Chain A
C-alpha cells in the first residue's frame, strides 16, 4: 500500500512533514531551499495548518519556538546562511527548553553568503551546533529523495519522543534532484504527552516554559531549566542548573544508545573502509562497486544519523580493517568524528572536495586503488 510520487526533494520533504502531522511552517526564501517554502505555502493551509513567511531566519526560528511551545509539530527549510542565524534559538530549544522542531538545512557552498553549489560544509555546525553551551540536535544525512522522506518522518517522531530539535541535512545537489519515491504511511509512534505545552491552563496547573526561577509559585510547573538562581550562584528551589545539564547528558546518552542509523557494505572482508554520507556517498557508490568487481577489498560505512554518530561501529570496525578513507565535500569535518571514533587504531585518510567540486567515481576509485596497493591485507 504505497504512495508513489515523483517530486523534487525539497517538495518531497514537505509532503513527508505533512504526513507526519506537521501543521506549522515558517520560512524565508533562500536558494536552494525555496521550493520547500513554496510547497508549504499551498499545502499547509490545505491541511488545516498555518504557513507564515517570516521576515528573517531569526524570526522564523523563533516562530518555530512559539509553535513548538504549544505542542504543534513545526518545521522550516533553509540553507547555510539562514541556518547560521538560527543557532541561538536552536541552542535554547535543545539545551534549555527542550523543544521539538524539524529544520531542513539545504547546504550550499559556504562559507559566508556562499554560492549555489553542493557542499557538506554544514556538517560541523549541524552536529556540533553553532550556538552557545552544551547541547545536541538530532542530525540526519539522507542520500536520496526516498531517504530524505524517510528521515523527515523519523525526525518528527524522534524530535517529539526526546523533546529535541532535529536537522535534516540536505545539500544543493540533492535538493535539485527529482526522483520517484514512496511517501508511505505515517510512522507508528507511541503517544507523546506534551504536558509542558503552554496552551492555556484550563483544568490544570499553569506551566512556565523556558525560564523558571527559584521561589516561583508552587502552583506552577516548570518545563525548562532553572536559570536565575544559578545566574547568581545561589541555591534555588527545585532542580539546579547542574542537575538540569546532567539530565540532558543522560538524555543524549540514551539517544546515542538507541537511535544510530547507518548503512554498511562489505565490512566482513574489507581492508579499506570508505566513510561518507549524503550526496558524497551516493556519488561514489559506483567506485566502490567497481573496486569490488576488480577484487579490491573495500567497504563502506554510510552514517544516516550524523548525530547520534556511529562511533561504536567505527571503533569496532577499526579493530579488523587496515585503513579508512573519508570522502566529503568540505575541508574535512566528518573526518574529525571518524578519527575520534577510530582513536588511532587505524589511519584515517581524507578525500576532500571544495568549492562546489563533487567527488566522482573516476576520481575516487584511483585513490581507493592507491591506498589498497600500499596497505597490508589483514587476511
Chain B
C-alpha cells in the first residue's frame, strides 16, 4: 500500500508579525511558537521550532492577519 508524507517549511517576515498567537494555536502539528525575539515594533515574533514535523499545510498563512507568513513550501514524498 502506498503512503505519502508531506514535509514543509515557511518563511516568516518578522517585521510584520504581531505575536497574535493565531498561527501557533491553529497549527495542526503544533510546530510554531512565539519566540523570545521581538521586532522593531516590540512584538514577540513567531518561529517554526520543529521544522521536521511541519507538513506545509498552509493553515498558518491563511489565519495570519498580517501576511507575516510570506511563503509556505511543501513536498509530498510517496513511500
Direct contact of A and B (CB under 8 A): no
Contact surface of B with A, Cβ cutoff 8 Å? none
